[in-house]
């Protein structure tokens, strides 16, 4: 079974963030290979007519933005663990992470709905539900 398109786009966006933010050159070289592999797998879906290149790149940018927000917020918490944030600030940041992840889930669900491939992530009684609902109502 090959990866669904939403997963490939999500993984590629995370790898792009790592390439930009990981300090070790050796790690970046390995990540660039991984990025290329995901790009080639995404191209297969485009070549099969599952989506257009423009759609794939739009979804990638949306996931890149959502994952970048999660990454930056998590970095705040990591800094807070060494005494730079109050517990209240850490709690507020954790809530923002859940909201950003809800948006990420919404983007992936939109891709699944648009392509008919993969599985929608259904959140039940989950803190990110509101963010997901808000994202879906503002495509």
Please list the pLDDT of the chain residue by residue as tens digits (139 residues): 789 999 999 999 999 999 999 888 888 989 999 999 999 999 999 999 999 999 999 999 999 999 999 999 988 887 766 677 788 888 898 899 999 998 999 999 999 999 998 887 766 655 555 655 666 566 5
Crossing angle of helices 129-137 and 87-115, in 10° steps, is 50
Query: What's the rounded Cα separation, in Å, for the pair 107 and 7?
Result: 11
End-to-end, the C-alpha distance of the chain in Å comes to 30
The pLDDT, as a whole number, for residue 136 is 59
The pLDDT, as a whole number, for residue 79 is 73
The pLDDT, as a whole number, for residue 87 is 82
Spatial CB neighbours of 35, under 8 Å, sequence gap ≥ 6? 12, 15, 16, 19
Residue ranges making up the domain that contains 64? 5-137
Structural domain tally of the chain?
1
Spatial CB neighbours of 44, under 8 Å, sequence gap ≥ 6? none
- Cα–Cα distances (Å) from 107 to 48, 65, 112, 133, in that order, read 21, 11, 9, 11
Query: What's the rounded Cα separation, in Å, for the pair 136 and 38?
Result: 26
């Amino acid at each position: 079974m090959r990866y669904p398109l939403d997963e490939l786009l999500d993984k590629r966006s995370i790898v792009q963030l790592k390439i930009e933010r990981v300090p070790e050159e050796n790690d970046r070289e390995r990540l660039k290979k991984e990025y290329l592999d995901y790009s080639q797998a995404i191209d297969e879906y485009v070549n099969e007519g599952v989506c257009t290149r423009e759609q794939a790149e739009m979804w990638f940018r949306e996931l890149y933005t959502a994952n970048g927000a999660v990454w930056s917020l998590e970095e705040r918490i990591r800094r807070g663990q060494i005494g730079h944030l109050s517990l209240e600030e850490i709690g507020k940041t954790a809530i923002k992470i859940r909201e950003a992840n809800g948006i990420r889930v919404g983007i992936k669900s939109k891709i699944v709905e648009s392509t008919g491939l993969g599985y929608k992530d259904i959140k039940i009684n989950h803190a990110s539900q509101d963010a997901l609902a808000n994202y879906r109502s503002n495509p």
